[in-house]
Amino acid sequence: MAQYPRSVIILTGLLTALYLAGIRLAVRGFREWIQIFDPSARRVLIVGAGHAGELLVRDMLYDANYHCCPVGFVDDDPIKRKMTIHGIPVVGVIADIKKAAERLKVDEIIVAIPSGSAMVKQKILAASEGCSVPIKTLPDIKQLLGDPVSLQQVRPMSVDDLLKREPIKTDFHELSPHIGGKTFLVTGAGGSIGSELCRQIAQYKPQAVVLFERYENTLHSLLLELHTAFPTVKIVPVIGDVTVPDRVAEVFRQTIPDIVFHAAAHKHVPLMELNPKEAIRNNILGTRVVAEAAVKAGVSRFVMISTDKAVNPSSVMGVTKRIAEHMMQEFNGPGLTKFMVVRFGNVLGSNGSVVPLFTEQIRKGGPVTVTHPEIKRFFMTIPEAVQLVLQASAMGRGGEVFVLDMGEQIKVADLARNMIVLAGLVPGKDIDIVYTGLRPGEKMYEELFEEEEQVEPTAHAKINRASGAPVSVGELDQWLEMLQVNLPQCDEEELLQDLKRLVPSFQRSISQSVS
């Protein structure tokens, strides 16, 4: 057998390795070429040329099933300017998004900055105005949970991404003994806040969660959701009205709750201006009925959900919630049940809020209706608000009015504009914004504290305590006793005067629009 020099064997091995590598590179190059020149592929501009952006582009180029063609990056890092990543150039900075999108004829923009703050995302959105393309994003770095970045994780950018807020730090070890093994009753369980309370409570392995709700359809939907998500948690659906004392008392006797979250209330400001008796019946008398049942049942904690509209109220809804706050302080005493209030502003996406309204108006092609160009509101996500409600309920000793840190107020007109841009449309061109005038009971801006209330910090950075003058208990009690019997026969104007007498800061605003 012929003997070959060792150099031939080594050379053959090297050539074979190079040959195989060449085939792999050729296949890879061909796949990338197919992706880039696929006429059906969506042309994508990537915002962020860092590690996440690089992984995103790699995923697009390697998987033809995505039908995505990355055509450029933008990044504010001066080191990355004029770089190419997997053959895709960095074509400018964030401020150049519109120009780059037009020049490269992009079909969508993807933000690949998982660590980016809300301020950064607002800057990106502002630079994207006029592009007329959808804007998508990777989840933030905490939501990725260590998973490798891929195109499957990309989702439409939402209003939540634009809030100028830091993530909530929930103390699991503090909440777990407060919730685990206990029975909870949530009134208004089918509403935005009530349903999220039920979801978050169920995560801590309670003994049971009682869903008290008067609308059977919303109750049924929530029941199915909770059974699927938390199959080991006992969920008790109850149809009932908080204004019916016998039904409420029966439910408390049957379920024996340890802790009550009272979220049931009428919240639509203009409608309550037209129906003040119903606002009083539900928001004041209903709260009293549930509170009395809680005392009789020996409930340990009673947490009422309140609103910033209760501060210097200009509406019937706001003043009824302010009186309900006073009632909680009156009910709190030497007995077993500790009563407390948690007050906060608007939550994004809640039933009746502007976000679903704007979404529907944009879907129909506009116009988007805003009451006033300068009107401002506090905004918070529903999960964030409920996390803080649970945290406040754990630290309460009774008699407190806890107020959540809502951050800065946001112009509703800016919110509308941002939502139009997020939909890939141009404000004033594709969708008009129309100003309709302030509605009955509506204020230009909201407040979180009354002037006479002192703001005190708590152990949680995002929760404050409001302490003010004691409530005149006697007069309120007499009025409530009269209402319990005579509300249907009462004159509405006299009732409004009573509300003003009980809450001197109540200044009812007059407006024309009711929608």
Q: Please write the tens of the pLDDT for every residue from 79-118.
A: 998 899 999 999 999 999 999 999 999 999 999 998 888 8
Q: Are residues 370 and 450 in the same domain?
A: yes
- The pLDDT of residue 3: 59
Arithmetic mean of pLDDT, 195-212? 97
Q: Are residues 134 and 213 in the same domain?
A: no
Residue 22 domain flag: no
Domain boundary among 125, 157, 189: 157
Q: Are residues 263 and 329 in the same domain?
A: yes
- H or E element, residue 213: strand 208-213
- The pLDDT of residue 153: 85
CATH number at residue 444: 3.40.50.720
Q: Are residues 346 and 311 in the same domain?
A: yes
Q: Are residues 150 and 241 in the same domain?
A: no
Domain span at residue 285 reads 172-502
For residue 30, pLDDT over 60 is answered with: no
* DSSP H helical ranges for 259-410: 269-274, 276-279, 286-297, 316-331, 354-363, 382-395
pLDDT digits (tens, 9 = 90+) for 318-362: 999 999 999 999 999 888 999 999 999 988 877 778 888 999 999
Q: In the Cβ-directed half-sphere of 169, how many Cα atoms lie within 13 Å?
A: 5
Residue 324 domain flag: yes
For residue 125, pLDDT over 70 is answered with: yes
Q: Are residues 149 and 178 in the same domain?
A: no
- H or E element, residue 413: helix 412-422
Neighbours of 508 (CB within 10 A): 17
Find the range with the poorest average confidence among 68-72, 143-147, 403-407. 143-147
Residue 406 domain flag: yes
pLDDT digits (tens, 9 = 90+) for 422-436: 888 999 999 999 999
Residue 74 domain flag: yes
For residue 300, pLDDT over 50 is answered with: yes
Q: Are residues 336 and 431 in the same domain?
A: yes
Arithmetic mean of pLDDT, 387-391? 94
For residue 71, pLDDT over 80 is answered with: yes
Domain boundary among 123, 157, 191: 157
Domain boundary among 157, 180, 197: 157
- The pLDDT of residue 19: 64
pTM of the predicted structure, to 2 decimals = 0.82
- The pLDDT of residue 149: 72
C-beta of residue 277 within 8 angstroms of C-beta of residue 487 = yes
Arithmetic mean of pLDDT, 240-261? 97
Q: Are residues 126 and 177 in the same domain?
A: no
Q: Are residues 114 and 196 in the same domain?
A: no
Residue 393 backbone dihedrals phi, psi, to 5 degrees: -65, -30
- The pLDDT of residue 17: 66
Q: Are residues 120 and 222 in the same domain?
A: no
Arithmetic mean of pLDDT, 216-230? 97
Residue 515 domain flag: no
Residue 75 domain flag: yes
Q: Are residues 65 and 201 in the same domain?
A: no
Q: Are residues 120 and 177 in the same domain?
A: no
Domain count, the chain: 2
